[in-house]
Chain A
Amino acid sequence: MKITVTVNGDERTADVEPRLLLVHFLRDTLGLTGTHWGCDTSNCGVCVVWLDGKPVKSCTVLAVMADGHTVRTVEGLADGATLDPVQQGFVRCHGLQCGFCTPGMMMTARWLLDHNPDPSEDEIREAISGQACRCTGYENIVRSVRWAASHEREVAPR
């Protein structure tokens, strides 16, 4: 069936099978390969994107369910050449290694900071607890999010 999804601000229309997963729609149909696919039981969270402003595991959403809705992916995180503070935090604090979990982690982190600008370590750990990382042992991911929180509060006090 024909669906129209607003992805990172652009209207994207495609004819898809009803069973197509959102993660495959983003990756295979739209070529937005920053979002990854890491398990088949909704545990790992490497496919996290925003659907109507909320993080979802896109392997657990059908593309047709996104018809008429908005999706934000890792490709929509930076403002042109300027990285989002979360992206900067991950670089500065070495919050990634192989980079496979990174897009999903950053989408959750961005959402967390939008709703809780000064999260504690426990709050960050809980926010990313639905997402696995095999490389970092999580420590530097927590630091990355903390860095972004401090940095953006300095730049733009809320």
Chain B
Amino acid sequence: MNNLLIWPVILPLIAGLLFILLRNHIRLQRVISVVVLAMVAGITIAIMNQISVSGIQTLQLGGWQAPFGIGLVADMFSMLLVLTTSIVAFCCVIFSFRTIGKDRERHYFYSLFLFLITGVNGSFMTGDLFNLYVFFEVLLLASYVLVSLGGTKIQLRETMKYVIINVLSSAFFLVGIAYIYSITGTLNLAHISVRIAEAGQDGFITTVAILFLLVFGIKAGLFLFYWLPGSYSAPPTAVSALFAALLTKVGIYAIIRMYTLVFYHEPQVTHLLLGILAAFTMVLGGIGAVAYSDINKILTYNVIIGAGFILAGIAAFTENGALGSIYYLIHDMIVKALIFLIGGVIVYLTGTTNLKEMSGLIRNHPYLGWMFFIGSLSLIGIPPLSGFIGKVFITRSTFEASYYWLGFIGLIASLMILYSVMKIFMNAFWGETVLSEAEEKGTTKGVMLPVVLLTALTFALGIGPEFINSYVETAVEGLMNPQIYIDAVFGGNEIP
């Protein structure tokens, strides 16, 4: 029992609820949301230190022993993600102060923002399948409102698509839970894992595993990503950066959790399928990123490539693969937020998303330009930056598992990313300066702090992976040995 675990989930919730009561105190809301996200980050670091000292921490809500109650489980993998979530959310909320506008702020923007964080943190930390569904719904409902908030025509159209596809996938999720419950008679993830390990993973359970892959694949933007480019380019920058950094990652987290903890008995079927889907995702995402000359579209297709690449590491199902996936997941959350925020600033300055109508921003905004350059290099995986180490481990693991085609496609996809982001850099920043400072549609005043913060972070993560390496290795150990997780959840009690 460790009550510290509940705070990353309920602290944003309480703050969000208070904001509804204090609707007109915008300034207070801004201060509180920053403070809350910083506090969540601090608490997460405290929990991570506890984990590295005394193993996986659990909290059984209401004191009911697992598997009868609902539990929160904090292993190193989920806490690393919660920490990254808080950092990214911190940057996005600071970015939104200047860009989101009075109207949205008055209509509960900060409440919804924090409810989204509640859902994301809850999904990362829960140890119960049905609770995972509930937290998914918490974050999805908040995201439905955040996509549509503002009520422009394009937002409403994309919200319709987004809501319909997510309602459909949530229904499939429920069907999958019903199947799991009828097979194993339990909903606790650790207990499901024990039951399936006892009975063996037969064809039916493998089919259910593929059903879950379908569900989380839709949420993660894996292969079934056709809803994603539209709905991620509709909302304002602060929101779309948050979505790109967090929402698909929750789906990826769920796939990794399910496929390492529960359905790990038939990797030649399930993990191969995962690999094939990841390959298709990377190829199609890459084609999309190369094809468009619209900043928002290029960036959203890069989100899709990222999802495919992370899951390639899990498909290989080796220790190196898991290590690479975790590094790449953390890197991807940070750098996607960075690149979306800078993309937003570019659109904000020029007033257009079309690359062909902008040029020469580097003359007036050298810092912005070079930070975009650093972000792009990091996205591709150039050595001193954070994308490199994950990419190396994932590629190595695919070769180790003799999925040569998968590693090869990953590298090709990297080239496509390179081409697509360099296209943005060269078109937007190089060339003749067509806009003088006075003609620009907006300023970079007040939005540079989060961008600088994220750039520094991607640098730090690339140069000093030793600082977090011990944490990541603990996380890999937990992922590759489900027994550690199961033992922590049951805490020495008899498994019924």
Q: Do A and B form a real pair?
A: no
Binding site for B on A (CB under 8 A): none
Binding site for A on B (CB under 8 A): none
